[in-house]
Structure 1
């Protein structure tokens, strides 16, 4: 019997209303020497802790953990019930004094919570006074949740770094600043982007705002180009607006195209980059190089996959899972997709939307979980969710699809390794 999602997730909002303080945190989380204070109750820090814990487990599952990466201390001022009556500015002062003595940070970013906003605490005045006392840069970011969401908090923190630490400089030829996340400079996605940029003679200076030292932040205005690390569509509004700010203030043009995910989108990305730089010939050469690289990998792995009976199980709505890249991956490897199963966690509307999207790319039969018989015959389930042990071998698709031809090759390698297992061994491989 198939077991997937135990509850239905109904998504009706077009916009995220997540905590803006988590956005502030992510914007400086891995900046060497940074420290973040939430002027908030202790529970607000738990939201960010849970988010980071999920990221930590995903990295472990995929064996992509970077143990050397700096993580900024996150401290809450620990607002309590009495502070809602008498105010929490003194509590914030004590918190700042403590973290300066305890951690000796290069600079401090202070994010205001909903509680601080309701109380009316003058966080900026406290920050200014503490900065004068300790002679350490301290940045106050308005991030009350009832004003903003995650995206806005991320943008406001990045903008604050720009305004505080950057000034006009002479441009360094062929230097690039990456804007956004994608797992940081040592992450496999960013490494893939860097390899594509090297083709055009471009060298990455740093990754802003969340993975840069203070010295690197100060040198961002010397970049000749910003490249945005977007998703399936263009980059989210916060990153795009940061790029526009840098262009306005420091005359740095930016490249904002959908991330090069899969074969066709990598070709499109290279072609557009070549047009921007006036290096169309380099782009065509790069496209041929990537094609050869992919074809060589397909020749190595397809023989292990083409005889397997595979079903694709989808439990994420279209908002979070675009199936085109997964179907392209399976088609490239000549995988026999015997059917597509829409798991119970999707609402009727979400299932209908997913069916319409799937029919653009495949003729494979599409069934609901309850009516499907093919899963019992399947040898491998390529899935967005972990299934019951009755499915012998499972390949868990990543929430964020990997970048470039290199990303596809890594997934093909893992899928081929799973196909090489005996049915008796069972198990799941995380893509």
Structure 2
């Protein structure tokens, strides 16, 4: 048996420190007919399993569980120490043949581990050979675990690979949109909020790509008149916008490159920019007016229930993954008493702490404290709003902030409604409430 090898140069990391394989998996894990192969050691399979379990329990908690939803098979090739010497191309061939025979998928997507990259397996060549032999599309995604990308790189490259394989330019259907990315699936709160905002411009979501899309859905993307990215963090937004640009170049589908509508000011900017992009400025103005009325009604009803509450904010996420601006804006909108901000130095590196302190200094005049300094502050708090479950405030009422900012006015009101419900708990009843 011949061994297929591919010499790969070492690349420098400039973004996150996550693995690209879960991004590939998440991009198609609920695409009808898809099958994913991790060309990796067996241990890497736990990543996909843990993500699925987390998603399952979150959907149950939010009452969004879909029992009939397709779940793509995830197969592990099972690289071992032996293959680091002799290569794993033969093992991958056997894995593809087994997967095709056992599951009969519509297509196979191969996600490469850093081990596969280090030993130099040319998985694209193996995929091409397997496709010719089996008669179904077999594609290798060109990123390798931790070596040259992160979660969102894997997600982006999976989408690009599907687009290059299954899409051709088509005439456009007026007022249709393809959403790029995954924010809890088509039935998730964020996606429903984005759909509602698009409705102000008479736009209808035609497809969700690359996630939650059958082959038929994927082939419909070139017919849409516009793509809109779903992102929300400084790490994910460039990748989703890049995917939109790729589709525009390939298919002539215009890409709306707008920052995510996280919080009120960002929502106003998003609606304004979309109105200019579509040349529908009057509709944008009307949308902003209606959204402002909606927000003001909620502020009038709920802010008074929080005025006498002393709140402390605990932050422990790096700026790469979390922008505190949308949280601080909520406190300002509802005129809440934020006594201080505590930076969790036991979960952040020195550089990450420094970056966060500098960012907070630019965004607010509220005093910031280290964990040691914050112990006295938290004792006086009625409520703790936090990015981490805190043992130091175990008896306090804690509101756990989502990693990704919530979209639109709907996201603002959902979070603040949770905060009010937490505040209404009996004073002796602490515990954490999750948004």
TM-score clears 0.5: yes
Match of 2:383 among 377, 380, 385: 380
State the match for 1:76 in structure 2.
76
State the match for 1:425 in structure 2.
429
1:233–1:92 Cα change, 3 Å? closer
CA–CA distance in structure 1, aligned partners of residues 220 and 351 of structure 2:
49
Asked if structure 2 preserves the Cα contact closer than 8 Å seen for 1:84 and 1:119, the reply is yes
Structure 2 regions of 5+ residues with no counterpart? 1-12
1:328–1:130 Cα change, 3 Å? same
Structure 1 regions of 5+ residues with no counterpart? 1-12
Deviates more, 1:13-22 or 1:200-209: 13-22
CA–CA distance in structure 2, aligned partners of residues 195 and 360 of structure 1:
33
CA–CA distance in structure 2, aligned partners of residues 104 and 277 of structure 1:
43
State the match for 1:319 in structure 2.
320
State the match for 1:3 in structure 2.
none
Greater relative contact order (Cα < 8 A, sep 6+) = 1
> For 1:283, what is the secondary structure of its paired residue?
helix
CA–CA distance in structure 2, aligned partners of residues 112 and 367 of structure 1:
43
- How much has 1:207 moved relative to structure 2? 1.3
1:65–1:174 Cα change, 3 Å? same
Asked if structure 1 preserves the Cα contact closer than 8 Å seen for 2:306 and 2:423, the reply is yes
State the match for 1:202 in structure 2.
203
1:310–1:63 Cα change, 3 Å? farther
- How much has 1:430 moved relative to structure 2? 0.8
CA–CA distance in structure 2, aligned partners of residues 276 and 342 of structure 1:
39
Q: TM-score, normalised by structure 2?
A: 0.89
State the match for 1:35 in structure 2.
35
1:120–1:232 Cα change, 3 Å? closer
Equivalences, count: 419
CA–CA distance in structure 1, aligned partners of residues 120 and 352 of structure 2:
42
> For 1:319, what is the secondary structure of its paired residue?
coil
- How much has 1:322 moved relative to structure 2? 2.0
CA–CA distance in structure 1, aligned partners of residues 188 and 128 of structure 2:
36
CA–CA distance in structure 2, aligned partners of residues 298 and 402 of structure 1:
17
- What is the RMSD of the two structures over their aligned residues, measured on CA atoms? 2.4
Asked if structure 2 preserves the Cα contact closer than 8 Å seen for 1:62 and 1:430, the reply is no
CA–CA distance in structure 2, aligned partners of residues 81 and 235 of structure 1:
34
1:126–1:225 Cα change, 3 Å? same
Deviates more, 1:14-23 or 1:38-47: 14-23
State the match for 2:401 in structure 1.
397
- How much has 1:429 moved relative to structure 2? 0.6
Deviates more, 1:246-255 or 1:229-238: 229-238
CA–CA distance in structure 2, aligned partners of residues 423 and 171 of structure 1:
58
